[in-house]
Structure 1
Amino acid sequence: MSEKLLVNPIECEGHGACAELLPEMIHLDEWGYPIVDGRPVPAGLERDARAAVSACPTLALRLLRS
């Protein structure tokens, strides 16, 4: 079962914690908002992806199982 990261752009306030915890899949745009890699989360990064989701202060980031 694979998981994908999704960001809710309305909820996101651009804190950047997700990009610090998961730079392999998330980078910030010029305003500090996350750009999420649309590919499924690789097996070796699942733990880091969950940490990034948990660290989001506005709960704008989530993992979707497919």
Structure 2
Amino acid sequence: MKVTVDQDKCVGSGQCVLTSEAVFDQRDEDGIVVLLDPTPPEELAEDVRQAAAICPAAAITVEE
């Protein structure tokens, strides 16, 4: 699994962080997504998929 984020699309809702805090974080100054792990382990895969699915800005891409 490979994860990418588009910081230009991100609206700072934080749903990704709530879903998978081991993979996503937010910048303190504006809440924009920060990718902590672009190749997360398999045990986090479902959480990452859910984060991508619920992102209101569709700023997260997951490649299997």
TM-score normalized by the length of structure 2: 0.87
| Structural mapping, 1:1-66, within 5 Å | 3-30=1-28, 31-65=30-64
Q: CA RMSD in A?
A: 1.2
| Unpaired segments ≥5 residues, structure 1 | none
Runs of 4+ in 1 over 4 A off after TM superposition: none
Aligned residues: 63
Q: Secondary structure at the match of 1:11?
A: coil
CA–CA separation in structure 2 for the residues paired with 1:46 and 1:33 = 22
| Unpaired segments ≥5 residues, structure 2 | none
CA–CA separation in structure 2 for the residues paired with 1:41 and 1:62 = 13
